[in-house]
Structure 1
Amino acid sequence: MKYPVNEVFETIQGEGTYTGVPALFVRLQGCPVGCAWCDTKQTWDVLPENKVTAEQVIQVDGTIGRWADHTGYTLLQAFHDKGFTAKHIVLTGGEPCLYNLTELTTIFIEAGYQVQIETSGTFDVKCHSDVWVTVSPKINMKGGYKVLEQALNRANEIKHPIATEHHIDELDKLLLNIDVSDKTICLQPISQKARATELAMKVCISRNWRLSIQTHKYLNID
């Protein structure tokens, strides 16, 4: 199966449970969710005129919105050709769960990689059973998609961006019928604002949740 890839790059995972882990980010093209604060809007549309060759999305700037078809095997070859050494792969977007990721994640896992998916939770998560799924629920976004119970139930980690108490209330409502006993719940202050960070810390301490800071923004890396 071919997947539309916007960019592939090696860096450090900056947020959530795997903060600090060397990672290969595979960013897929396409997302209809419509988050107002999205910092990768170039990935929203899969435009035919922006299609390029497979080599042109590896370790290059993906902000133009270019994309190329890749399979799991061509990506593995690209990792090898570029000399990438990280063993943790992050499938992100865009919205990666627009696509059935079972074949892709199986190829990566059988090749010895650890795999993580970062998703908005608005599409069914279809992947290998060993994948670590991070759902960052996008509630009441412009696209009109609802956060799905299937995605929340499959999640290993629920990472929620917050700025005010309202966002905490939204998360509580969303998780009302979800068993979170085996899940990591992370609160991530929006834009590292002081008030949001203070609120996130307070709630994490009171509920024994985890604080997720976007360390890559402090380090000024991708």
Structure 2
Amino acid sequence: MNYPVNEIFETIQGEGAKTGVPSIFIRLQGCPVGCSWCDTKHTWELNDNEKVSVENIINISNASSMWAELDEISLLARLKHYSAKHVVITGGEPCLYDLRPLTETLNKNGYTSQIETSGTFEIFTDNSTYVTVSPKVGMKGGFKVLQSAINRADEIKHPIATEQHIEDLKALLKLRNSLDDVCVCLQPISQKPRATELAIHHCIKNNWRLSVQMHKYLSID
């Protein structure tokens, strides 16, 4: 399976339940969801004329829309240059692609894997992969969050700024068969004070977890 890779870099996971875990990020190119607050809009379009060699996307974080095509074996070889053993597959929207070949390869070779998805596309991944669904409701692309994605999630990390976002989350949680085995996180959009206050209030009220995008506060990738 060939994947359009926008960048590969090593850092600390800054969001959700795995905050603080040393991680290798594989960012895939392409996303039709259209979140207005997206901080990686350069990954939205997959243009053939921006395909480059892999050397142009390794450890380069310059908000470029360039991408390189790599299969799971080539990606595995690249990961051996890093120390971290946890791999986060993000985007863009990584579930545009069948992630089973990649996640199965990672998990068979001593890595743990995690994907971060909007939940608007079917999730095809290894059973042991940790799935973070950050549900995107009412976005420009017009895609609906899938019940199958909500049920597959190990973690539901919901971006919020208003009370309506809380209501949207509660409606999505009703789609899930059980809430006993899922971590629910609230993530304030753009670290705005009002959104943060709202998130803290509802985390305490509902016994949810706060996700504050630590990497942005620390000014790291």
TM band (smaller chain): over 0.9
**What TM-score do you get using the length of structure 1 for normalisation?**
0.97
Q: Alignment partner of 2:32: what SS?
A: coil
Cα distance per residue 1:80-107 (max 9 Å; x no partner): 2xx3100110000000000010010000
CA contact (8 A) 1:6 1:62 kept: no
When structure 1 is superposed on structure 2, of 107-116 and 55-64 the one drifting more is 55-64
1:18-38 residue CA offsets vs partner (Å, 9 max, x unmatched): 101100000000000011111
For 2:59, the equivalent position in structure 1 comes to 59
CA contact (8 A) 1:7 1:62 kept: no
Matched, 1:186 2:185: yes
Indicate the percent of aligned positions where both proteins have the same amino acid.
58
Distance 1:165 1:46 in 2: 34
Map of 1:71 onto structure 2: 71
* Secondary structure, aligned partner of 2:9: strand
String of CA shifts for 1:30-86, please: whole Å, max 9, x gaps.
000011111111111110100001222111135120001111111121122xx3100
Distance (Å, rounded) in 1 between the aligned partners of 2:95 and 2:104 = 15
Counterparts of 1:25 and 1:111 in 2: how far apart (Å)? 17
* The one of 119, 123, 126 aligned to 2:124: 126
1:123 and 1:150 mapped to 2: Cα distance?
Answer: 9
Q: Which residue of 1 aligns with 2:194?
A: 195
Which one-letter code corresponds to 1:208 in the other structure? N
* Alignment correspondent of 1:169: 167
**Aligned equivalents of 2:35, 2:122: Cα separation in 1:** 18
Paired position in structure 2 for 1:103? 101
User: In the aligned structure 2, how far is the partner of 1:84 from the partner of 1:143?
Assistant: 36
SS in 1 for 2:56: helix
How far, CA to CA, are the matches of 2:194 and 2:117 in structure 1? 26
Counterparts of 1:158 and 1:74, CA distance in 2: 30
Matched, 1:211 2:210: yes
Segments of 4+ moved more than 2 angstroms: none
> How far, CA to CA, are the matches of 1:46 and 1:200 in structure 2?
34
- Which aligned pairs between 1:23-38 and structure 2 lie closer than 5 A? 23-38=23-38
Q: Which moved more, 1:9-18 or 1:177-186?
A: 177-186
Deviations 1:160-179 (A, max 9, x none): 01111111011111222312
Q: In structure 2, list runs of 5 or more residues that go unmatched.
A: none
Q: After alignment, is 185-194 or 170-179 more displaced?
A: 170-179
The size of the alignment, in residue pairs, is 220
CA deviation map 1:121-161 (0-9, x unaligned): 00000000000000000001000000000110000000001
Q: Report the equivalent of 2:9.
A: 9
Is the CA contact 2:150–2:175 (under 8 Å) kept in the aligned structure 1?
no
Gaps of 5+ in 1: none
Partner of 1:94: 92
Q: CA deviation at 1:4?
A: 0.4
CA contact (8 A) 1:50 1:67 kept: yes
CA distance in 2, matches of 1:182, 1:109: 21
Cα distance between partner residues in 2 of 1:58 and 1:164: 37
CA distance in 1, matches of 2:139, 2:210: 24
